[in-house]
Amino acid sequence: MLIDKSPFFRVLKNDPQSAARTGEITTQHGTILTPAFMPVGTRGSVKAVDPTDLLKCGSQIVLANAYHLTQRPGLETLRLFGGLHKFMGWSGPILTDSGGYQVFSLAALRKIEPEGVTFHSPYDGSVTFFSPQSVVAAQTVIGSDIMMCLDECPPYPADYAPVAKSLALTLDWAAKSRAAWDPNSGQALFGIVQGGFYPDLRAQAAAAIAAMDFPGHSLGGLALGEPEAERLQAIETAREILPKDKPLYLMGLGTPNDLIQGVLRGADLFDCVLPTRNARNGQLFTRFGRLNLLNSRHKEDPNPPDPACQCLTCQTFSRAYLRHLLKNREPLFSRLATIHNLTYYHDLLAGVRSAIKTETLAQYVLDFYAAQKAQDSPD
């Protein structure tokens, strides 16, 4: 019997004036409307909120981290529970990062070799070796719907030669990851385009990754301190080379501005710790800029963080009360702030999807910046 199998990715509509598009990614755990933002739940938990909160915020897919999960709780525990979905109580799609970012963020604790990376665990000091193959295997146990290749995320700034050398390693690992992946597993594997901010290296990376025929593509090594112009150039360079019938994921991005600029350059997926981390640190993203609830001017402010926001936090609580919770380290603050920031991020991209469909994206973007400018915003 012939089964009509949905394609992994489908573009529903292209924006006539930019590279932006809206589409859908189909996984075994559900469909993701793109462009989409993925909240970061490194250890199988988006800090401060539970799966019910996530659904209410508009989260369609969450990100977890293969490196951290292998350290704790460990693959045996996850295997016992039948994968991360059941373990964490999230039945929607999951994307796992490989641990490539930890090659960057835990630079003092790892050693890179041609075959892989040796990490000294920040948890207990134990030593673990990660190869491209073992990382695919780990993500298979985790059961993520979208897996990432092990890569090396070079720091910024970096000279040409070391970036070129790093890229060669990442491309070698990508080929090995691709070979270790079972295309019929129901789990997708994305190749990662590195190359720093040298256009020829980015282009070379994009071409090489495209040739390996992954279900989707990621751009790594972004938002490491480089000027925005360089970041956007790197995205455009890769976008021109990568096939447009596959989803493009901008790893680690970003600010609301990064999301808009990414969308305009054809990005479909984003993830970033900013909405969740900054929430816990008292900073809320709103339609009119960032709001630091620590500031004393909110001490007696009866207004919600964002009057136009429909989230639980904005519908129920004042800035003054939220500031009170924050200053007294009440655990409730983290949840309420995270709910708001995630809702804002998801609303921003829901608006983008809608605007692309109605061919009003240009106006949507203009309105976004006009509103952001209404108050001081670092973006």
Partner RNA sequence: GGAGGGGUGCCCGAGUGGUUAAAGGGAGCAGACUGUAAAUCUGCCGACCUGGUGUCUACAGAGGUUCGAAUCCUCUCCCCUCCA
Residue 116 backbone zone (phi > 0: left; psi -120 to 50: alpha; other: beta): left
Identify the active-site residue in 145, 151, 271, 306: 271
Determine which residue in the list 32, 88, 141, 148 makes contact with RNA, applying CB under 7 A.
148
Binding status of residue 122 toward RNA by CB under 7 A: yes
CB of 65 to RNA, least distance (A): 4
Residue in 293, 278, 231, 237 with CA at minimum distance from that of residue 259: 231
Give the range of 50-58, 158-166, 280-288, 359-367 binding RNA by CB under 7 A. 280-288
Determine which residue in the list 145, 151, 268, 347 makes contact with RNA, applying CB under 7 A.
151
Asked if residue 262 lies in contact with residue 272, where contact means CB atoms within 8 angstroms, the answer is: no
Tokens 């924050």 belong to residue? 326
Binders of RNA among 316-375, rule CB under 7 A?
327, 329, 331, 334
Complex with RNA: residue 224 or 241, whichever CB lies closer: 224
Torsion, Cα 68 69 75 80, to 10 degrees, reads 160
Runs of H (alpha helix) within the chain? 51-57, 66-71, 75-80, 84-88, 100-105, 132-142, 160-180, 199-211, 228-241, 256-264, 274-280, 312-316, 319-327, 331-357, 361-373
Which two structure tokens, joined as six digits, stand for 264? 């305009």
Which two structure tokens, joined as six digits, stand for 224? 């490491």
Here's the x/- map for RNA, 245-274, by CB under 7 A: it reads as: ------xxxxx--x------------xxxx
Binders of RNA among 79-118, rule CB under 7 A?
97-98, 100-102, 104-106, 108-109
CB of 21 to RNA, least distance (A): 21
Asked if residue 248 lies in contact with residue 266, where contact means CB atoms within 8 angstroms, the answer is: yes
Tell me the C-alpha distance between 103 and 155, whole Å.
10
CB of 102 to RNA, least distance (A): 5
Is residue 285 within a helix (H) or strand (E), and if so which, with residue range?
A: strand 283-286
Complex with RNA: residue 251 or 311, whichever CB lies closer: 251
Determine which residue in the list 158, 277, 288, 367 makes contact with RNA, applying CB under 7 A.
277
Q: Decide if 271 is catalytic.
A: yes
Q: Decide if 97 is catalytic.
A: yes
Determine which residue in the list 35, 266, 282, 304 makes contact with RNA, applying CB under 7 A.
282
Q: Which residues are catalytic?
A: 97, 271
Interface residue list for RNA (CB under 7 A): 40-42, 46-47, 63, 65, 68, 97-98, 100-102, 104-106, 108-109, 122, 148, 151, 153, 192, 194, 218, 220-223, 251-255, 258, 271-274, 276-278, 280-283, 292, 294-297, 299, 327, 329, 331, 334, 378
